[in-house]
Amino acid sequence: MAMNSGAELPGPGTGPGAGPGSGGADGSADEERLACGRLLSEVWEAWEDGAGDPDRDPHLRACPHCSAAVRQLDLLGVAVREAGGGREPEWDTGALTERVMDVVRLELRPGRPLPLGEREEDLWVREAMAAKALRAAAETVPGVRAGSCLIRPAESGGSPSRGPVRVRLEVVVPLAPRLRDLAEEVRRRVHGAADDALGLPVDHVDVHITDVTEPAGTDPEPPAGTEEGNQP
């Protein structure tokens, strides 16, 4: 089943600016190539694999473009760890930081740049990183498992915008009497993570419940024709 309180987001290759060269089914348009010719995703993976061995990839350590990309990762990690200094977040910030940085190993495509902070600031975060943080926040709701997380500009346009974004999050939740309330709690925590941990302006969060599971600890029903307490 699916619950949706907002409009569907356009899929790849649709909407304003779509056309030849705007991206294919493999998502190759999301691959950012640095000025030195390397893909940003490759730089992230190489840094994780060989950060402690200077001889393994001399280019990675000598190239100013690759070095800047690595520094961007480090700064994001610091920002997430320092988030919530003014008020205590409701989730485990250590686990959230770890999930954000997991994008280096688990996401092959960094995705589009998304705005951080105020409109006049020049701060950006990659979609894959932000999605990791938002999925982690959703999973702080007991029993919830987050899946696909798409983040798109709320304002239509072909170039990166400093305006707010829309989030489309798919989740699997435990079977409960009031699924709408559970979806609202997921939405609230995702909003909180975007504000407190990332500084990402969010216009709306669409929560799609794609499946339900039996709550943990539920006893299986006895076979038909048996009575509880009967002794052989």
Fold of 83-213: Alpha-Beta Plaits (3.30.70)
| Average pLDDT of the segment spanning 162-175 | 88
Higher model confidence: residue 114 or residue 29?
A: 114
Rounded alpha-carbon distances, angstroms, from residue 35 to 39, 68, 133, 230: 9, 11, 28, 75
Question: What is the pLDDT at residue 34?
Answer: 77
Other Cβ atoms within 10 Å of 125 Cβ, number = 24
- In angstroms, the CA 113 to CA 151 distance is 10
Task: Place 126 in a pLDDT band, splitting at 50, 70 and 90.
Answer: confident
pLDDT of residue 127 exceeding 90: no
pLDDT range class, residue 49, cuts 50, 70, 90: low
pLDDT value of residue 187? 95
Domain residue spans of the chain: 83-213
- Over residues 133-159, mean pLDDT: 84
Closest CA to 175 of 217, 121, 119: 217
Q: How far is CA 27 from the centre of its chain?
A: 16
Say what the pLDDT of residue 111 is.
66
169: three-class secondary structure by DSSP: strand
Question: Could you please report the per-residue DSSP string of 70-129?
Answer: HHHHHHHHHHHHHTTSSS--SS-HHHHHHHHHTHHHH-S----EEEES-TTS-EEEEHHH
Per the model's pLDDT, the better-predicted residue between 89 and 21 turns out to be 89
Distance CA 219, CA 15 (A): 48
